[in-house]
């Protein structure tokens, strides 16, 4: 029985290795529909000795397999070459992404005890335009640093049959207090049928504007249609802000201590750490990296040994890159905690022993007095 199990596992491993050895290239094709268009597609099933191939998908009736041959040397890989011919009709009534799937299986693979077989698929996507106008647009307002250009950008795709002219975008920039700053317009251009991911740029020079949170109200115009957005973006400066820190430490103890910071920069900052100074005491947190605009807590331990209870002026310095940012604060060394008798077992034991001694002494005195009276 054990031998059969081992043979099964061995056969499974061999079968899986064989199945995983073949591959298909390319992984997919994309085609923009044209009436009555024709095309040929070459697909390689790498490292295959013989393959079964079939076509499936909504538009498979418009394709045929013309040849399956050994891959020629110019393909620089061994395996089988599948040649597919496609001839589309003058009209397809299903707009959007349609497909023809080329499915390949290696012959003879999986005919042993295990029966594993892998199917490889190369889809041919045919993108059929929508009737009339079908436009999708996205708008991006990126964060920048001081004095950099804000590259506002519209990205538009026309999935409709109609060619569009007079297409353009407009951006209104508002300041941190929602005050109007400027209008920026893109170039007015043509957006052709089935044209995808065309960029309409509206750059704004932020030189002279202070760091802070800004707003962009954007509109995109096409064929008497308007798409609108409201976006926020940041103009940053090379500074790390102290947002909070530990206000208290324990008396004569090593206490956890945190310093919370926030990046005001649009790039990653490395080697960020804090130094806390209190009287003659100093602590430093480990160094970390700070992502753009990130809030982070720097953690360390503060030793209050030698400091009396009370409030002390403190200096907290944030180090980053070749810069520092210093803030003044106050840290309190807490008074020594007063423990109850239940928290002081030594005191409890001493009290009990003292009471027992007192009772014992009293009993001895009573015994001696009573005995003397009896003797007289």
The answer to whether residue 313 sits within a structural domain is yes
The answer to whether residue 357 sits within a structural domain is no
Residue 105 and residue 162 in one domain: no
- CA 345, CA 175: separation in Å to the nearest integer? 65
- CA 210, CA 196: separation in Å to the nearest integer? 37
The answer to whether residue 361 sits within a structural domain is no
Residue 260 and residue 213 in one domain: no
Residue 261 and residue 276 in one domain: yes
HEC letters along the chain = CHHHHHHHHHHHHHHHHHHHHCEEECCCEEEECCCCCEEEEEEEEECCCCEEEEEECCCHHHEEEEEEEECCHHHCCCEEEEEEEEECCCCCCCCEEEEEEEEEEECCCCCCCCCCCCEEEEEEEEEECECCCCEEEEEECCCEECCCEEEEEEEEEECECCCEEEEEEEEEEECCCCCEEEEEECCCEEECCCCCCEEEEEEEECCCCCCEEEEEEEEEEECCEEEEEEEEEEEECCCEEEEEECCEECCCCEEEEEEEEEECCCCCEEEEEEEEEECCEEEECCCEEECCCCEEEEEEEEECCCCCCEEEEEEEEEEECCEEEEEEEEEEECCCCCCCHHHCHHHHHHHHHHHHHHHHHHHHHHHHHHHHHHHC
The answer to whether residue 373 sits within a structural domain is no
The answer to whether residue 119 sits within a structural domain is yes
370 to each of 81, 299, 365, how far by Cα in Å?
123, 72, 9
| Whether 317 contacts 274, CB under 8 Å | yes
| Whether 127 contacts 30, CB under 8 Å | yes
Q: What is the pLDDT of residue 122?
A: 97
Q: What is the pLDDT of residue 349?
A: 67
User: Domain boundary at 184, 206, 236, which?
Assistant: 236
Residue 114 and residue 15 in one domain: yes
The token pair at 324 is 């520092």
Per-residue pLDDT of the chain (376 residues; tens, 9 = 90+): 445 444 444 444 444 444 456 899 999 999 999 999 999 999 999 999 999 999 999 999 999 999 999 999 998 889 999 999 999 999 999 999 999 999 999 887 544 444 457 899 999 999 999 999 999 999 999 999 999 999 999 999 999 999 999 999 999 999 999 999 999 999 999 999 989 999 999 999 999 999 999 999 999 999 999 999 999 999 999 999 999 999 999 999 999 999 999 999 999 999 999 999 999 999 999 999 999 999 999 999 999 999 999 999 999 999 998 899 999 999 999 998 766 655 555 656 666 787 888 878 888 788 777 777 776 6
Residue whose entry in the numeric block shows the structure tokens 């070749």: 322
CATH number at residue 142: 2.60.40.10
Residue 244 and residue 223 in one domain: no
Residue 214 and residue 244 in one domain: no
Residue 206 and residue 245 in one domain: no
The answer to whether residue 344 sits within a structural domain is no
Residue 264 and residue 282 in one domain: yes
Residue 142 and residue 251 in one domain: no
| Whether 256 contacts 301, CB under 8 Å | yes
Q: Which structural domain, as residue segments, surrounds residue 266?
A: 240-333
Residue 167 and residue 280 in one domain: no
Residue 210 and residue 291 in one domain: no
Kindly provide the b/e burial profile for residues 94-130, where b requires at least 16 CB atoms within 10 angstroms of the residue's own CB. Answer: ebeebbbbbbbbbeebeeeebebbbebebbbbbbbbb
This prediction's pTM: 0.68
The answer to whether residue 359 sits within a structural domain is no
Domain count, the chain: 3
User: Domain boundary at 128, 144, 179, which?
Assistant: 128
Residue 20 and residue 111 in one domain: yes
- CA 233, CA 213: separation in Å to the nearest integer? 6
The answer to whether residue 96 sits within a structural domain is yes
Q: What is the pLDDT of residue 197?
A: 94
Q: Show Cβ contacts of residue 77 under 8 Å, excluding neighbours closer than 6 positions.
A: 25, 44, 46, 47, 71
User: Domain boundary at 295, 313, 333, which?
Assistant: 333
């Amino acid at each position: 029985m054990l031998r059969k199990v081992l043979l099964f596992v061995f056969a499974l491993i061999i079968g899986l290795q064989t199945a995983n050895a073949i591959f298909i290239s390319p992984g997919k094709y994309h085609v923009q529909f044209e009436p009555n268009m024709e095309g040929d597609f070459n697909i390689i099933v790498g490292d295959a000795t013989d393959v079964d191939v079939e076509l499936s998908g909504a538009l498979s009736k418009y394709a045929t397999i013309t040849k399956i041959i050994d891959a020629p040397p110019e393909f620089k890989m061994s395996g089988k070459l599948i040649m597919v011919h496609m001839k589309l009709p003058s009209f397809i009534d299903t707009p959007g992404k349609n497909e023809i799937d080329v499915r390949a299986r290696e012959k003879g693979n999986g005919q042993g005890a295990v029966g594993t077989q892998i199917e490889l698929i190369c889809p041919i996507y045919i993108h059929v335009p929508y009737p009339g106008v079908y436009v999708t647009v996205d708008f991006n307002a990126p964060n920048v640093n001081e004095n950099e250009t804000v590259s506002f950008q519209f990205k538009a795709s026309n999935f409709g049959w109609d060619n569009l002219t007079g297409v353009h975008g407009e951006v209104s920039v508002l300041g941190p207090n929602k005050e109007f700053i400027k209008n920026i317009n893109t170039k007015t251009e043509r957006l052709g049928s089935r044209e995808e991911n065309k960029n309409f740029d509206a750059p704004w020079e932020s030189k002279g504007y202070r760091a802070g949170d800004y707003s962009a109200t954007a509109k995109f115009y096409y064929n008497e249609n308007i798409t609108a957005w409201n976006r926020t973006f940041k103009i940053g400066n090379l500074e790390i802000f102290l947002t909070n820190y530990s206000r208290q430490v324990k008396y004569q103890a090593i206490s956890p201590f945190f310093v919370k910071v926030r990046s005001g920069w649009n790039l990653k900052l490395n080697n960020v750490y804090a130094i806390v100074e209190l009287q003659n005491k100093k602590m430093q947190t480990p160094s970390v990296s700070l992502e753009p605009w990130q809030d982070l807590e720097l953690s360390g331990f503060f030793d209050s040994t030698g400091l009396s209870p009370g409030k002390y002026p403190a200096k907290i310095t944030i180090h980053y890159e070749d810069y520092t940012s210093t803030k003044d604060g106050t840290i309190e060394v807490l008074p020594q905690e007063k423990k109850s008798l239940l928290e002081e077992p030594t005191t409890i034991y001493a009290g009990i022993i003292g009471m027992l001694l007192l009772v014992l002494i009293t009993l001895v005195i009573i015994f001696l007095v009573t005995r003397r009276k009896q003797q007289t």
